[in-house]
Homo-oligomer: A and B are copies of this chain.
Amino acid sequence: MAEPLIGRLAIVGVGLIGSAIIHAARRGRLAGTIVASDASPEVRARVAEIGFADVIAETAAEAANGADLVIVCTPIGVCGAVAAEIGPHLKPGAILSDVGSVKGAVVRDMSPHVPAHAQFVPAHPIAGTENSGPDAGFAELFDGRWTILAPGPDADPAAVAAVRALWEGMGAKVDTMTAEHHDLVFAIVSHVPHLIAYNIVGTAADLEDVTQSEVIKYSASGFRDFTRIAASDPTMWRDVFLNNRDAVLQMLARFVEDLTALQRAIRWGEGDKLFELFTRTRAIRRDIIEQGQDTAAPDFGRRSASAPGE
């Protein structure tokens, strides 16, 4: 039998992404031994019940001991502390990686703790659902999706190649960019969209003249799409906004500037300006579908939900 790509793979933090990596690595027979650890005893117990890790470690340090690749899958806000715990336990030649949605802050917080005899290859898989926890992951999550690697200028090419091969083995397509550019791109394609989804759901919940029950009943008219995104993990997303502050504020300023122009066009009845924008945005949807980044089925192909008991 062929040698697996990674001898001993350690996953620190078994949430949506951590559990999906375990499933996907197992599907691809990419690791000889899979070690899982999580700060929560409940999560560790659940990982044992699911039975998809070969070893369950009590601590991140224990998980890192002897590992060839350690992937930190915790919320961004604790990845510096986790790296500080792991660092002294990394063996010579070990690779440390992560899956954080922000890369600049992760590099800032984790890299000081990586010993000279180990390598740090930051990564961000562009995949997910609104669900959280060790039961949320599945082997197909990364299939056909992009994973971004953001290695520093001095990273060992062999370590970068190993992380790339793992992600490709889990079904992903891999791109490389600087941490700084990553954070700008994801501020606009992910962070600001999540922020405005959370915001509109909050606004709707707080109205006096429209009841929450009306908002829920009639949500199929547009609102419900935003509620899916606004059901994403609160801890993860708090950490994203706190750690990609500058890029988020920069992109948010552009969004608000454009929104103000639209608001003015509505107030002054400038239908042509509205029509021009609404026509232009259709082309982007078409490109996304053509490039296989979304389904072409109307309404995402979702089954028309009906009321309970019907």
Interface residues of A (CB under 8 A from B): 77, 101, 126-131, 136, 140-141, 143-146, 148, 173, 175, 184-186, 188-207, 209-210, 212, 214-232, 234-235, 237-239, 241-242, 245, 248-249, 251-252, 254-256, 258-259, 262-263, 266-267, 269, 271, 274-275, 277-282, 284-295, 297-308, 310
Q: Is the CB of A284 within 8 A of B221?
A: no
Asked if residues A229 and B225 are in contact (CB atoms below 8 Å), the reply is yes
Known contacts A184-B209, A210-B188: A278-B219 contact under CB 8 Å: no
Contact B129 A299 (CB under 8 A): yes
Point out which of A199, A221, A287, A308 has the most chain B C-beta atoms below 10 A from its C-beta.
A221
> Chain copies in the assembly?
2
* With contact pairs A136-B298, A216-B284 given, residues A262 and B199 touching in the complex (Cβ less than 8 Å): yes
Q: How far is the CB of A211 from chain B (nearest CB, A)?
A: 9
Cβ-defined contact, B184 with A210, below 8 A = yes
Contacts of A301 in B (CB 8 A): 300-303
Name the contact of A281 in the complex, choosing from B202, B285, B286 (C-beta under 8 A).
Answer: B202
A193 touches B292 (CB 8 A): no
Q: Is the CB of B226 within 8 A of A214?
A: no
